[in-house]
Amino acid sequence: MTTNIQLARQVARHVQLKYVTMKSAHIESALPPDQPVSEPVSINQQHRCSFDEKLLDDRRDIHVTTEFRLQASKNASEKSELVKLEVTFVLVYTLPLDAKYEPHCVQHFAELNGVYNAWPYWREIVQSATGRVGLGGIMVPVYRPVSAEVPEKPAPEPVAKSAQ
C-alpha cells in the first residue's frame, strides 16, 4: 500500500511556495469585556483544503485554499460558545512544466502541504485574536501530518462493446 505522504511527495519535490495570502478572517466573541473567563475552556478546531491547478506558458501553478475554524466553549457543548474564529488562506505553489507526477497526487499534496505551510499563520492569528478578545491567547499545537494508507487505484474496467 502507498501512503498519502508518499503520494504528496511526488509533487512536493518539484514545488516552490510562491505566495501565502489571507483571503478572509472572521471572529465572533460572546465574552463580556470586563469579566475574565475563570473556568476551563474547551477548544475545537477543524480545517479543510481545496485546490486548483493552472497551466501557464512557462510553469504550472497549484492554488491551495485552506480553511480553518476554531470554537472555544465553556464546555464541550456548542451552546456555550465563547469565541468562533474562521480564517481562509490561499497558498500558491509553482512548479516546472516538465515535473512528472501522477495527477491524483496533487490532492494529497494540497491536503498535507497546504495545511502544513499555512499552519504557522493559523497559529499566529489564533494566539493574537483570542488574546485580544480576552481568552489570554490560545496556543495551537504544532501541526503533525498523519500518514494514511491510500488504496491503489483500480485499473479501469474494459468497456464492453455490443454486437449489432
Q: What CATH class has 18-32+39-97+107-137?
A: alpha beta
Which parts of the chain register pLDDT below 70? 38, 76-79, 153-164
Give pLDDT, residue 105: 93
pLDDT tens readout for residues 75-100: 765 568 899 999 999 999 999 999 99
pTM: 0.84
List the domain boundaries for the chain: 18-32+39-97+107-137
The answer to whether 126 touches 85, Cβ cutoff 8 Å, is yes
Residue 117 confidence (pLDDT): 97
**Residue 35: per-residue pLDDT:** 75
Residue 146 is predicted with a pLDDT of 87
Question: Cβ(127)–Cβ(94) under 8 Å?
Answer: no
Planar angle of CA 151, 44, 66, nearest 5 degrees: 55
CA 66 to chain centre: 4
Q: How far apart are CA 69 and CA 88, in angstroms?
A: 9
What does the alpha-carbon distance between residue 153 and residue 104 come to, in Å, rounded to a whole number? 10
- Secondary structure of residue 19 in the 3-state scheme: strand
